[in-house]
């Protein structure tokens, strides 16, 4: 009998601990952190010094993040008064057929001086790549499908490039490089951070922006990340250097597998770009 009571007590304690951890993780998944940092890009023209680029990623609109929740996030992003917004993939988790119109309306609320650019992620392919591209385009967002978009300030330029998803799509860096002028700073959007090694080899990009990893989503003290998807390599979250190129990995907004985060809150990144001094 005593052993049975101890077993039941231990079981109830474990259940209570698990429920508490789940509740905390669910709350953390809703606490979006704004991360601000400055990055010096060696080829950035003085005309773009102080350029304010806001990155969002991995909203995973679906069962655990609604269009209404995303609307509130979009309002926060627009309130940061960005020069440009870059969305680095995984807009939805598995489908957007029933919410296409609502999602289009929500994304249309994003406001930036030079507009919004985006690429697709692997989950967007699960939902139907052409449908997701259609939602983005209908929302006034420029989809960089193995393409380049150039911003100009007088005679100076800043190039935004994007490759298709590495896992599910057809990334064509060769096509991007054909379109990319030889001068001016270049920023590459690539959903999977592991692509940085390939991009850095070209020597043409100053910065790569990625998502996909969710920062691990659940990180335990003394252990770290429990699970990472394919094509992350050692680039889990935050700032890295791949060759001469800077890589920044956004932790994302949404979740997959479970609607929880632990020691890894969702992120909006505000990047202030700086031209070289002296």
The CATH architecture annotation of domain 31-274 reads 4-Layer Sandwich (3.60)
Mean pLDDT of the chain: 92
Average pLDDT over residues 183-209: 98
Within 13 Å of residue 62, how many CA atoms lie on the same side as its CB? Answer: 21
Task: Please compute the mean of the pLDDT values over residues 156-164 and round it to a whole number.
Answer: 98
Percent of all residues in the chain with a pLDDT value above 70, rounded to a whole number: 90
Calpha distance 219→263 (Å, rounded)? 6
Residue 219, strand partner residues: 225
Q: Is the pLDDT of residue 105 over 50?
A: yes
d(CA 97, CA 58): 18
State how far the alpha carbon of 176 is from the alpha carbons of 146, 153, 168, 237, in Å.
6, 22, 18, 25
Average pLDDT over residues 61-77: 96
Helix, strand or coil for residue 45? Answer: coil
Chain segment 111-127, per-residue pLDDT in tens: 999 999 999 999 999 99
For residue 43 the two structure tokens come to 């080829």
pLDDT at position 155 over 50: yes
d(CA 154, CA 152): 6
15-25: pLDDT as tens digits: 443 444 445 55
What are the residue ranges spanned by the domains of the chain? Answer: 31-274
Dist. CA 276–CA 113, nearest whole Å: 23
Collapsing DSSP to helix, strand or coil, 36 comes out as strand
């Amino acid at each position: 009998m005593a052993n049975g009571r101890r077993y039941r007590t231990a079981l109830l304690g474990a259940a209570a601990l698990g429920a508490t951890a789940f509740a905390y993780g669910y709350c953390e998944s809703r606490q979006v952190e704004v991360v601000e940092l400055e990055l010096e890009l060696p080829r950035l023209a003085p005309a773009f010094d102080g350029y304010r680029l806001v990155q969002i990623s991995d909203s995973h609109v679906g069962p655990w993040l609604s269009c209404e929740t995303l609307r509130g996030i979009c309002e926060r992003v627009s309130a940061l008064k960005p020069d440009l917004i870059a969305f680095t993939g995984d807009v939805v988790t598995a489908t957007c057929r029933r919410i296409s119109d609502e999602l289009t309306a929500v994304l249309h609320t994003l406001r930036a001086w030079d507009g919004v650019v985006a690429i697709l992620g692997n989950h967007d392919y699960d939902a139907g790549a052409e449908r997701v591209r259609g939602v983005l385009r209908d929302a006034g967002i420029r989809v960089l499908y193995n393409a380049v978009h150039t911003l100009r300030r007088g005679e100076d330029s800043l190039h935004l490039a994007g490759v298709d998803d590495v896992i599910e799509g057809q990334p064509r860096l060769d096509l991007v490089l054909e379109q990319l002028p030889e001068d001016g700073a270049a920023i590459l959007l690539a959903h999977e951070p592991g692509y940085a090694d390939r991009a850095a080899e070209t020597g043409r990009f100053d910065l790569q922006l990625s998502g996909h990893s969710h920062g691990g989503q659940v990180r335990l003290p003394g252990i770290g990340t429990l699970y990472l998807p394919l094509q992350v390599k050692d680039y889990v979250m935050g700032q890295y250097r791949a060759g001469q190129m800077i890589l920044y990995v956004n932790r994302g907004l949404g979740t997959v597998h479970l609607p929880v985060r632990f020691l890894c809150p969702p992120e909006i990144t505000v990047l202030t770009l700086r031209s070289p001094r002296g």
